[in-house]
Structures are given as structure tokens and as C-alpha cells.
């Protein structure tokens, strides 16, 4: 698929209707794509549209490493003692 620039003489630029007309002319494979695409939804080739759009997106580079060895277990938390040392006994 090649990218074409659609020229227009309107000062406001392209509209939603321009997009629909361009999509119908590209992805409806009948003799009259504007009429058939409007009245028959199954005439639109959604698979071809998705294949063309998928080519635009590329995989992003990512990090493929791990931090630390896999065999390290989590440390068991020990409960701290309050008031510092041995428990007091009362007589």
C-alpha cells in the first residue's frame, strides 16, 4: 500500500466524509464502491484494512533481562522484641 496525498481546494481541509469516501474506494471491491459500501456492510473488506494498518505498527524494543538469580528465596521476617532484651518476671 502506498501513501497518497489527497488534495482538496477547500480551505477547511479534509472532512469525515472525505475519509469515508477514500476508505470505500480502497476497500470495497465492487464496480460502484460508494453505493455498495453504503448499503451493504459486508462489501467492505475489513481484513484488508486491518492488514494494511498492522504494517504501520512495529514492535517496540524491550528489556529482555532479569534482575537477580531465580533460585533466591524471600527472606523470612523475624519479629523484633520490644523493650530490648529478656522478658521481665514479677514476684
φ/ψ of 84, rounded to 5, equals: 70, -55
Q: Which three cell numbers stand for residue 61?
A: 524494543
Beta bridge partners of 28: 44
Contacts of 12 (CB under 8 A, 6+ apart): none
The answer on pLDDT for 72 being more than 80 is: no
**Distance separating alpha carbons of residues 26 and 46, to the nearest angstrom:** 11
Q: Does residue 11 form part of some domain? A: no
* 2 pLDDT above the threshold of 60: no
Q: Is residue 9 part of a domain?
A: no
Domain contains 3: no
* The pLDDT value given to residue 79: 76
Total structural domains in the chain? 1
Distance (Å, whole) CA 72 – CA 53: 44
Sign of the dihedral through C-alpha 59, 25, 30, 34: positive
Domain span at residue 48? 16-54
Give a yes or no: residue 40 inside a domain. Answer: yes
Q: How confident is the model at residue 87 (pLDDT cuts 50, 70, 90)?
A: low
**pLDDT tens across 23-71, in order?**
888 888 877 877 877 778 788 888 888 888 888 887 777 776 666 677 7
The set of cell numbers assigned to 60 is 517496540
pLDDT number for residue 30? 78
Amino acid at each position: 500500500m502506498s501513501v497518497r496525498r489527497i488534495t482538496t481546494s477547500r480551505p477547511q481541509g479534509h472532512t469525515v466524509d472525505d475519509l469515508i469516501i477514500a476508505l470505500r474506494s480502497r476497500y470495497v471491491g465492487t464496480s460502484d464502491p460508494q453505493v455498495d459500501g453504503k448499503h451493504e456492510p459486508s462489501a467492505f473488506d475489513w481484513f484488508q484494512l486491518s492488514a494494511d494498518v498492522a504494517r504501520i505498527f512495529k514492535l517496540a524494543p524491550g528489556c529482555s533481562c532479569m534482575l537477580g538469580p531465580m533460585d533466591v528465596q524471600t527472606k523470612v521476617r523475624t519479629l523484633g522484641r520490644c523493650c530490648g532484651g529478656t522478658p521481665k518476671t514479677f514476684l
